[in-house]
Chains A and B, each alone.
Chain A
Amino acid sequence: MNRRELLKHIAVLTGASVVGADFFLTGCAPEGKTAGLFSAADVALLDDIAETIIPRTTTPGARDAQTGAFIADFVTHCYDDDEEKALIAGLAALTAAAKTQHNRAFGKLKQTEQLEVLSKIAAEAKVYNEQQTGDFIPHYFTLLQQLTLLGFFTSEQGYTQVLRYEMIPGPYEGCVDYKNGEKAWAN
């Protein structure tokens, strides 16, 4: 699927325009952004979060597609400073929530516990986003969801193994029968 189409679908799904992918630059962001703020530990945490959102099943998951590294790179180069700050503060909040609820780091939790922690935050994100008006940076969990979907569904694994992809599609057919369980076309 092309980039615009993907952004549109992610925006519909997460209820917020995809941050960092804005074509229409509004205002002037501050200069002198510091690159490479994400440590190896941050990338590992991002992988843990992304894998909870898109886990490995019979097909590859977010960690297989190195979604954590994508997120760090994308945020560093495509987010504005305040968007990046919101995300980093969010990661700290998420780590704290895991500590409070289970007294362990998020990465050390069992899969079911990770799901539990993120489900709670996802519910908070929904309420938070609904309360905002005008231009706003969505809740950090919404950012993480967007970044995970964006990274995963533009990865080789997401494109070719989770969706249906043909590099050279050949004939188009306008109307074919669809059976439940068949994957969406990546292209």
Chain B
Amino acid sequence: MQDTAHINTNGKHTHTYDAIVIGSGISGGWAAKELCEHGLKTLVLERGRDVKHIIDYPTYNTPPWEFPYRGHIAREQRKKNPLISKAAGYAADTAHFFIEDADHPYVQEKPFDWIRGYQVGGKSLTWGRACQRWSDFEFSAPQRYGYAVDWPIRYEDVAPWYSHVERFIGVCGIKEGIESMPDGEFLPGYELNCVEQHIKDVLWKKFKRHYVSGRWAHITQPQEIHTQQGRGQCQNRNLCMRGCPYGGYFSSVTSTLPWAQKTGNLTVAPHSVVHSIIYDEEKGRATGVRVINAQTNEATEYFARIIFVNASALNTNLILLNSTSDRFPNGLGNDNGLLGKYICFHNYRGNMGGDFEGFKDKYYRVTRPVECIIANYRNLHRQETDFIGGYTIFSGAYREKLSDKGIEPMLGAAFKEAISEPGTWGAYMYMQGETIPKASNHVRLSPDQRDQWGIPLLVTSVGYDDNDEKMVQDFLEQGRVMLEAAGAVNIRTNDTKQPPGLDIHEMGGARMGHDPATSLLNKWNQLHHCQNVFVTDGACMTSTGNQSPSILYMALTARAANYAVERLKKAEM
């Protein structure tokens, strides 16, 4: 801290809670919900502004023709925000849920697109909503194939917590009994359209691969637990990232935070940038958090018996690295020097599309807010490729809009008529590939550069490796083979070569493990060396698996929070 003279330590009792949660995004919201429900007075610290359900969704009902430039980002705004304007979902209708580049610098030692949303609710407002479960293939892969370290948990440890989370947030899906993608507690799933059904049949018949309806955090049939949250049925408006007035999809703002608020135990403090966690050498535990008010620059300390760090994967690393003391000169819990290392992410580089000539007498009614999934089929029971790990494929089929149908020249009444009718069917696929954690992919604190609050900037040094290249090639080959088998023509494959980070699935740096010598967290997400600090966001990940991670963070958070409460009740912490 630049000027410790201004720390407000007055009225320590008014700044003392049972629990502090750093971050209000998808995992922080869950920590708050569970801790408050168990009666803990909980303070949630959020570095950004407050966002309230519906009230702070300024665009939720705005039709496209009412936006300046019909929703396109003006040239000046794009020039000012070359990074954040690349993010999936960033547009005029959602830009207020993303940062401005200039406000939040970091140092890219290698190209890394760090996508952030600093507000109450964090990126849960704009997330992709895919909610597949991990299987034991993923939890056991590092141990079986000799990479990273062994996960200290298995599927059976998290399965009940997946159920706990799914029931509350609402996840649609269809049970399929797939070994590599276990079923969950699903609300009714979306049916496939006729081309997707055709692809599903072909992939099963010819490849024994599973093409299934997406498991997405949408309420397709509200249960009592959802109406209690004030949430209703998804109306298929497909405008989710603006915030949903029906609460049709899950976000912290829609669901967990208001739920926690109702207990009377929650305090949310927006504009609270966490500088570091306070470690008490005598007590041998963390006692609180140093916070800088983002608007006034005033520094304040808050105190609690337990601290949940849910600041988003890389910011969690930053906070822990910046939490130094005589006992922990290299960052909180960082005796082995591995904090910030083994950063990993999901590989989204490969995508493809193709056309289908038939099915002209079939269509669908409105657009669906979910996609289809091809469950991972690589390296499940044994190592069978020249790369480690697997990939999930997201896919879907659609009828083209504004399809010319060969009208030349492209103008006049006939052209207008033709393009306003649906065109040929197309199908797309894109990959979500596992990346293999390695020490060289790391983040660290800049020794000399600081942000506007005097906190060291994060240096990112994260890149692809040969394994990633091979996986992209395998996806591009296999995807083509599958589309061809289904009868697609005019297949176009593409390697975007996008920098890591744009996947918005950054993970690791404070990984879980059995052994304090090779990991930061134990099987309950506690820092091995400072057990009243829990890390349950993406930073805890030992490996990336190939499934979308958000619901796993939620399940791990609920599990850790309940464990923490148990320990507190037994006065063991």
Which residues of A does B touch, CB under 8 Å?
1-3, 5-6, 9-10, 12-14, 20-25, 28-29, 33, 52-55, 57, 61, 70, 73-74, 77-80, 115, 118-119, 122-123, 145, 149-151, 153-156, 159, 162-163, 166-185, 187
A173 and B72 form a contact (CB under 8 A): no
Q: Tell me which of B72, B402, B413 contacts A55 (CB under 8 A).
A: B413
A175 and B71 form a contact (CB under 8 A): no
Q: Tell me which of B75, B193, B403 contacts A80 (CB under 8 A).
A: B75
Give the chain B neighbours of A163 by CB distance below 8 A. Answer: 401, 420
Interface centre among A54, A115, A118 (most CB of B within 10 A): A54
State the Cβ distance, A41 to closest chain B Cβ, in Å.
Answer: 22
State the Cβ distance, A144 to closest chain B Cβ, in Å.
Answer: 10
State the Cβ distance, B441 to closest chain A Cβ, in Å.
Answer: 24
A159 and B421 form a contact (CB under 8 A): no
* CB under 8 Å from chain A, chain B span 36-83: 63-65, 68-76, 78-79, 82
Interface of B is mostly: loop
Shortest Cβ distance from A174 into B: residue: B191
B366 and A185 form a contact (CB under 8 A): yes
A57 and B416 form a contact (CB under 8 A): yes
Q: How far is the CA of A146 from the CA of B295 in the complex (A)?
A: 44
Given that A1-B401, A169-B236 are known contacts, is A174 also in contact with B193, CB under 8 Å in the complex?
yes
Q: Tell me which of A9, A24, A119, A174 contacts B364 (CB under 8 A).
A: A174
**Is B146's beta carbon under 8 Å from chain A?**
no
Give the chain B neighbours of A29 by CB distance below 8 A. Answer: 75, 79
Given that A122-B411, A172-B190 are known contacts, is A77 also in contact with B75, CB under 8 Å in the complex?
yes
Give the chain B neighbours of A80 by CB distance below 8 A. Answer: 75
Given that A145-B410, A169-B366, A175-B194 are known contacts, is A159 also in contact with B75, CB under 8 Å in the complex?
no
Given that A25-B85, A53-B415 are known contacts, is A187 also in contact with B362, CB under 8 Å in the complex?
no
Nearest 5 A/B pairs, CB to CB: A174-B191, A178-B363, A154-B70, A173-B365, A169-B366
Q: Mark B201-244, 1 if CB is under 8 A from A, else 0.
A: 00000000000000000000000000000000001111000000
Which residues of B does A touch, CB under 8 Å?
63-65, 68-76, 78-79, 82, 85-86, 90-91, 190-194, 196-197, 235-238, 360-368, 399-404, 408-413, 415-417, 419-423
Q: How far is the CA of A21 from the CA of B236 in the complex (A)?
A: 26
Give the chain B neighbours of A175 by CB distance below 8 A. Answer: 191-194, 197, 362, 364
Q: Tell me which of B193, B399, B401, B410 contacts A122 (CB under 8 A).
A: B410
A187 and B75 form a contact (CB under 8 A): no
Q: Tell me which of B75, B364, B421 contacts A176 (CB under 8 A).
A: B364
B419 and A52 form a contact (CB under 8 A): no
Give the chain A neighbours of B420 by CB distance below 8 A. Answer: 162-163, 183-184
Q: Tell me which of B64, B90, B400, B411 contacts A52 (CB under 8 A).
A: B411
Shortest Cβ distance from A119 into B: residue: B409
